[in-house]
Amino acid sequence: MRVTVITAIAVIATAFALLPNAATSTAQPPAGDALQAATRGLALIDSAIAANGGLDRLRAVQDVTIRYRGRRWMAYQSETASPPWNVQPTLTDIVIDIQNNRLMRHNVTRYPADFAFMSTQLITGPNGLFFDPTRAGYGDVVSRVTGPPSSTVGARRELPALELLGARDRSESVRWVGEQTNAGKRLYGVSYAQPNGSLYTLWLDAATKRLARLEWLADDPVEGDQLRSYDYSGYRVERGIQVPTRLVERRNDELVRDDSLVITMDERPTDALFTPPGTGYVEAAPLPAPEREPIRKLADNVWLLQQLPGGNRAMFVAFRDYVLVLEAPTPQFAADSVLEAVKRTVPVKPVRYVAFSHHHDDHGGGLRPYIAQGVTIVTTPETRRFVEKVASARPTPSRRSLLRHSSDCTWMSRR
């Protein structure tokens, strides 16, 4: 299928149609092979756990502290819409109190032009707090957030011993996947399913049984299918458990993070570390009535959409026989809320155009659902590659409702 693109100087028109779901039959492996893959995979996990401190020692870990220092490559958050990306420092400290199911995370996140965003997050079970520790006394609010239980946060992936333990706890899904050679080292592979259904593949050093690489599939808002990986190296022993001192993250083989890690265990963090500040901040006041309106009318034929998924906003303007939407934020399904709101507000006018302010993924990463419906994307020549990337992206199997072929783009300039 061909995609038409127009830009601001130009306009980028994209006309994708959803592909019908085709049912295909695949041969099932013999039962004996499946049983052998499960048995061999679980045996590998058990041998790796034994080599990394033992099952009893891993289950006895009460808390983990991780200090990250390194570099991040700011994919789709840089000054340009394509590589080379801006590089910024990693400054993160995490304390996971496994015994009491709570977490403290402190970040200093820097962006191009040297903008620094500082934050501290405290999570106990599903409930949490979020605040900027540098803003005490300025009347800032302590935001209430909802997070996953601290024992299952993403930081767990960054401690191989806990990843091995997670695989063992889901032993019914463990499968042997084969072996490979990487940088002269022989690696054994095993996969297992996360509680949410995501499949993780662990590649273990055949000689040491240390976790060398972790892989999983994700749906990126710009690139679609994305194989993400962590490479672990520089192992040392911390209280009887093997821990890495370096973590390298890649997405579709593109380097996005290279961090040095300092990992300690069983430090017995005090309650004060997980207690929000008692002074210097205020609780968030109820939003004014206009801010609580999901669809807020700003002027004749102009509406602001508030409370979209992800906490973002968008606008739409009704013209004589069509609607223009401004901004396409992530997550992808925010577009569903926008389209539904437009249909309720101006039911006889279709969304024909979408424009977004700039090439960062939190402003244009939600374009895919509009593209799937044939909506025209309005942009500038500088963001051409960004839109082409979104237009040609193939989503992960969990989002095949947006599946489409990669396309050529036809560009038409209008002044």
- Model's pTM, two decimal places? 0.82
Both tokens assigned to 397: 């199997």
CA-based nearest residue to 98, from 130, 58, 127, 128: 58
Confidence (pLDDT) at 25: 40
Confidence (pLDDT) at 167: 95
Using CB atoms within 10 Å of the CB of residue 253, give its burial: 0 to 12 exposed, 13 to 18 middle, 19+ buried: exposed
CA-based nearest residue to 313, from 357, 283, 349, 374: 357
Q: Which long-range contacts (CB under 8 A, 24 or more apart) does 77-81 make?
A: 77/111, 77/112, 77/360, 77/361, 77/362, 78/112, 79/112, 79/113, 80/359, 81/359, 81/382, 81/383, 81/385, 81/386
Residues listed for the chain: 415
Q: What is the CA radius of gyration of the chain?
A: 24
Q: Which residues lie closer than 8 Å to 187 by C-beta, 6 or more apart? A: 179, 180, 181, 203, 204, 205, 206, 212, 213
Confidence (pLDDT) at 2: 43
Q: Where are the alpha helices (DSSP H) in 143-287?
A: 160-169
Which residue carries 């199911």 as its tokens?
101
- The helix/strand count (H/E) of the chain reads as 7, 25
CA-based nearest residue to 355, from 344, 341, 370, 333: 370
Both tokens assigned to 137: 């006394």
Answer for the pair 131, 148: CB distance below 8 angstroms, yes or no: no
Confidence (pLDDT) at 181: 95
Confidence (pLDDT) at 298: 95
Stretches where the chain sits below pLDDT 70 are 1-31, 147-155, 395-415
Domains of the chain: 2-17+287-413 (3.60.15.10), 36-275 (2.50.20.10)
